[in-house]
Structure 1
Amino acid sequence: MKEEDFTIIEMEDILKTKEIADMTGLAQSTVRKYAQELEKAGYTFKKDETGRYYTKEDVIIFTQLKDIRDKAGIKVEHAADVVVTQYKRTTQNMSPSKVPTEMENQAIQIQQTKQYIQKLEEALQQQQEMISKLEERLERQEKHQDLRDESLTQVLREVAETKKMLAASKERKWYEFWK
């Protein structure tokens, strides 16, 4: 095989943002945003002096990211983490001769999505428990404040009564003044 033939094959595998967008059904701006999030999560794209370019493998990554976002309804950052983690696991466990099929990729993706959803549910349960504890504490504080308010009101009434009694005892009748 000549070097020219190798270059032609490589050029055919290079995809632009618009092509990725067309293949995945995403907007071009969304493809760029997803690419940035995937890079933050540790995925590397091929780059040249003009910027990123994509391969057919990247199409699968974008499709998985889109599917996770659609099915699980999670943020792009979290979905990118799931996809990159899944990608790293499959590439580490994969022998060069065994390329995962789409079904295997989807099964792995579903499993990881289930694990992520389970973690979210656990976090939600912990938050609900914390909320109920805080509600109980707030209730106790409100009862304490009500008792304090009642005590204060009672003391104020007693003080007012005492003042009246003092005023009444000190008050002299005008005719007693001359005595």
Structure 2
Amino acid sequence: MNVKTDMKIYSSKEVAERLKLQPVTVRKYSQMLEEQGYSFTKDDKGWRLYSEDDITSLQYLSNMRAAGKTLHESVDYVATLYRSNLSLSQSAISLQESNPMMEFMKAQQEFNQKILERLEASEKRQMERDQNLLKAIRETQEVKKLILSKKKRWWEFWK
């Protein structure tokens, strides 16, 4: 790709300083985005050159990581926006709030939490049931032993 002279471009080191990340992290994020179809401008040597939009995308990816999303989720999301020709130049917060995928993920997390609570309650009931069954079995065995100890044997009937 040819470098456009009318826009400001940055190296990975400059982007790293600007985003307060390590340069290796910027390169890793860029490589993962490229694997998902994101395209960066490159110079004659094949080095990536970053535009303001690219930096915004990397910042958004970094924010998603800081919010607890996995690296693959974050990269997939940013690459999907890129492939859909959607811009991240709007504030990241407004995108997160209005994003149906984020709403779905929140709803799914709440659902998963409820399922976990039910599962824990079910396991607790099963443990109590098992303890009660073991107690009943022990009591039955004790009663059988007591009955057998009081029962006369056939040769003791004449005594």
Instruction: Give the alignment's TM-score, normalised by structure 2.
Output: 0.71
Contact 2:33 2:79 in 1 (8 A): yes
Q: 1:121 aligns with which of 96, 106, 116?
A: 106
2:57 corresponding residue in structure 1: 61
8 Å contact from structure 1 (residues 86, 112) kept in 2: no
**Residues 82-93 of structure 1: matches in 2 within 5 Å?**
82-90=77-85
CA contact (8 A) 1:68 1:113 kept: no
Aligned ranges 1:1-179 → 2 under 5 Å: 15-47=10-42, 50-56=45-51, 57-70=53-66, 72-90=67-85, 105-107=89-91, 109-114=92-97, 115=99, 116-166=101-151, 168-169=152-153
* Alpha-carbon distance in 1 for matches of 2:50, 2:141: 81
| Structure 2 unaligned regions, length at least 5 | none
Shift of 1:132: 2.3
- Map Cα deviations across residues 52-109 of structure 1 (whole Å, 9 max, x no partner): 4123142332233234434x34233222223223333345xxxxxxxx7xxx7224x3
Change (3 A) 1:144 1:68: closer
Secondary structure of the 2:21 match is coil
Q: Structure 2 vs 1, CA of residues 88 and 112 (structure 1 numbering), >3 Å: closer, same or farther?
A: farther
- CA change 1:8–1:127 in 2 (3 A) is closer
CA change 1:35–1:65 in 2 (3 A) is same
Aligned length: 152
Root-mean-square deviation over aligned CA pairs = 3.3
Gaps of 5+ in 1: 1-6, 92-99
Distance change >3 Å, CA 118–CA 161, structure 1 → 2: same
The structure number with the bigger radius of gyration is 1
Structure 2 distance, partners of 1:50, 1:8, is: 12
Over the matched positions of the two proteins, sequence identity in percent amounts to: 23
**In 2: Cα distance, 1:157 partner to 1:146 partner:** 17
| Distance in 2 (alpha carbons) for counterparts of 1:149 and 1:79 | 50
Greater share of residues in helix: 1
Provide the secondary structure at the position in 1 that maps to 2:65.
helix
AA matched with 2:123: L
Find the residue that maps to 2:84 and give its secondary structure: helix
Structure with greater contact order relative to length (CA < 8 Å, sep ≥ 6): 2
CA contact (8 A) 1:14 1:53 kept: no
